[in-house]
Amino acid sequence: MNKLESVFRDFAVPIIAGVLVVMLTLFFLIPKIREVFSLRRELTAQNNQISKLSRKLADLKSLSEADLQTSANLVLGVLPVNQDPFKTLAVAEKIFLDSRIFLESFKFLNSVASPSGENAEEISPLGISFSFSANFNNFKEMIKKTENILPLLKIDGVKFGSVEASESASMPYLSGKISFISFSAPLPKDIGKIDKEIPKISSKDKDFIDKLKGYLTFSEEPMKDVNLSLPAGKDNPFSF
């Protein structure tokens, strides 16, 4: 018995020491190892983000600020951030005056068909209707000008009230109503993550911008020469 106790005492210390080492490894060393691997993953992720930001910075430096400003102004001319009824009215009025068309009255429309397509719910339409009279050539000129001016106007409909013969049988005199729609949309709420790559401008996008450069740009002028007749029986033409 004493011999067994002596042998047990001889092995007890190494066994206890081994158990303590295992416990220390489990409770202290392994978490530290996990922490080291976690730090390595974080460093790898940060290096990847730095690489992305470096590429993005290089892409930004390669862009022309003047070209970007020009493109932004053209796109905002097509689809302004804020709907401006008075500017829409002024643009339409200028087109009519430049085309030598007589305006009898106008009114803003309280019901306009909403656009369809991607992000259509963010686009706000504004409709305005004009009563006019003009010869056929001037009416064609007005249609052409409408298709090539910024801010963009869409012809929503034309209804002729009468067509009268003029001195030249090839150029009848028209009267009726024509309605336009202008659109606006808010700017994006965010421009994406900082490490997200810059969208590449495709050849289709470049062609679109080049086409817009050929459009006439409306510049606001004093409204002293405006000769619009208000709708009969309405004190406020903006009421629906």
CA distance 45 to 41: 6
44 or 28: which leads in pLDDT: 44
CA distance 150 to 212: 8
| Strongest mean pLDDT among 15-19, 22-26, 108-112, 200-204 | 200-204
Mean pLDDT of the chain: 77
Query: Taking 50 as the threshold, does the pLDDT of residue 227 lie above it?
Result: no
Task: Please report which confidence band the pLDDT of residue 130 belongs to, taking 50, 70 and 90 as the band edges.
Answer: very high
CATH superfamily for 76-225 is Ribosomal protein S6/Translation elongation factor EF1B (3.30.70.60)
| Per-residue DSSP letter, 28 | I
Mean pLDDT confidence for 142-159: 87
Q: Whose CA is closest to 105, among 10, 199, 238?
A: 238
Alpha carbon 132 to chain centroid, angstroms: 34
CA end-to-end distance (rounded Å), the chain: 111
Contact 130, 96 (CB under 8 A): yes
What tens digit of pLDDT does each residue of 47-105 get? 888 888 888 888 878 878 888 888 888 888 788 888 888 888 888 888 999 999 998 89
